[in-house]
């Protein structure tokens, strides 16, 4: 998701198909827009309830349970590579917004998306191997 203003209101836009879904053959609408206030108000309410004293232990347990348990060097390396690619892609978007040459930045984006796809495949492979073993 990336932030974008439309008609004076803040929105989140999902461009999943252009960046990931097509490469992984996942069906997804071309673009999805979500008004920020449609997300933040319910999220704020949930956070306020999830971290009350009577829910805190359950929330902490759920957060811990959601963390990956396979911490092999290969898994950590793949996750680090994905995070690095995501950071690069964010920088490239910012460069485009700042007026960088689109042809040059497009090449960087293509290369980084290829690296990210490779790292995702490595992560899936290592996770399958760790679950099988």
Model pLDDT for residues 51-83, shown as the tens digit of each residue: 999 999 999 999 988 887 767 888 889 989 999
User: Tokens standing for 128?
Assistant: 């399958």
Average pLDDT for residues 16-41, to the nearest whole number? 73
Cα 74 to Cα 35, 51, 54, 120, 132: the distances in Å are 38, 34, 39, 12, 15
Q: Distance (Å, rounded) from C-alpha 87 to C-alpha 57? A: 33
3-state helix, strand, coil in the chain (%, to 5): 70, 10, 20
Angle between helices 102-132 and 73-97 (to 10 degrees): 160
Residue-level pLDDT at 7: 85
CB 4 within 8 A of CB 94: no
The residue count for the chain? 133
Predicted pLDDT at 132: 65
Confidence of residue 85 (pLDDT cuts 50, 70, 90): very high
- Choose among 82, 92, 84, 101: nearest CA to 20: 82
Q: Which of 110, 83, 105, 107 is nearest to 94 (CA)?
A: 105
Percentage of the chain modeled with pLDDT above 90? 44
- pLDDT above 70: residue 18: no
Q: Is this prediction's pTM over 0.85?
A: no
Closest CA to 37 of 7, 67, 11, 70: 11
pLDDT for residue 12: 86
On the CB side of 67, how many CA atoms lie within 13 Å of its CA? 8
């Amino acid at each position: 998701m990336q932030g974008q203003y439309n008609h004076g209101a803040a929105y989140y836009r999902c461009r999943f198909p252009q960046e990931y879904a097509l490469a992984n053959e996942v069906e997804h609408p071309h673009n999805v827009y979500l008004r920020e206030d449609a997300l933040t108000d319910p999220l704020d309410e949930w956070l306020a309830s999830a971290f009350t004293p009577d829910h805190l232990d359950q929330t902490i347990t759920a957060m811990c349970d959601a963390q990956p348990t396979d911490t092999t060097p290969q898994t950590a390396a793949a996750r680090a590579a994905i995070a690095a690619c995501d950071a690069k892609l964010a920088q490239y978007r910012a460069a485009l917004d700042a007026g960088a040459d689109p042809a040059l930045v497009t090449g960087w984006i293509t290369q980084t998306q290829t690296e990210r796809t490779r790292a995702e495949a490595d992560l899936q492979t290592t996770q399958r191997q760790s679950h099988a073993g």
